[in-house]
Amino acid sequence: LRSLYKAVVMVVRQRKELSSAYHDLAMSFDTLAEHECDGDLRQAFSLFNQLHDNLRHAQAQQAAIDVQTMECTTDEYVRLISSIKLAFNARVKAYQIWQTDLSDLQRKITNYDRMKSQNKYRMDKMSQLQSEIGRLEIQTETHRHEFEDISTLIRAELERFDKQKIMDFKRSSEELLMSLVHHQQKIIKLWEAYLNTFSKVPQSSNGNHSHHQSVSTAASTNAE
């Protein structure tokens, strides 16, 4: 999941960089259109500016969808798995504490039974051991419950993760794939609309025809 999250973050960053590049290119053609005296060529530059501005919006929109569908989802899963790891560590610690108390309790009981079996023993010492055994019994039982509660919680969270999160991840993946298909279709339609409009721009002279051909060639190259 961490590798997937890093890959999604990289894709989002690349889309934002591409959107920024489209913006710069659109501004360049807008400047060319403003300073071009020939009306037909100015129109061609304006069309190219509009195209790349639309492409910028499309890339920015897809980047936002990528974040919404996959980046946030994978980031949430990474955090959840980290929390589960911490819970497992807490479970191990709770088990160790419980076993330590249990070992101390068994040792105290053994000492008490040994002293009781002897003919001579001190009552105050026996009373002290009884008190310690009672305290350890309560403490051991408390820590046993803590261990069992943590185990139950982890088991419930894992079951919830299996049922809910896996379905969420599947749904997010499907939404991302559909959005990528729609995004690519939108890009194709933008280029087709541009080329269709560009082909209708009048070409009044050989010089202008050369300029139009250069813009058309650049458009075809970018579309590829």
Domain at 7, CATH number? 1.20.1270
Is residue 104 in some structural domain? no
User: Domain containing 73: what range?
Assistant: 2-96+164-223
Q: Give the model's pLDDT for residue 118.
A: 74
Start-to-end Cα distance in the chain? 33
CA-wise closest residue to 211 among 49, 44, 22: 44
pLDDT digits (tens, 9 = 90+) for 148-203: 999 998 888 888 877 777 788 888 888 888 888 999 999 999 999 888 887 776 65
Is residue 159 in some structural domain? no
Is residue 133 in some structural domain? no
**Cα atoms in the Cβ-side hemisphere of radius 13 Å centred on 114:** 6
Consecutive 10-residue averages of pLDDT for the chain (224 residues): 77 86 87 78 83 89 83 79 86 95 92 78 78 92 94 86 78 85 91 84 51 48 47
Is residue 13 in some structural domain? yes
Cα separations (Å) of 139 from 97, 111, 144?
Answer: 10, 19, 9
> In the numeric block, which tokens belong to residue 77?
């899963």
Contact 1, 78 (CB under 8 A): yes
Is residue 112 in some structural domain? no
**Total number of domains constituting the chain:** 1
Indicate the pTM of the whole model: 0.55
Is residue 203 in some structural domain? yes
* C-alpha R_g of the chain: 36
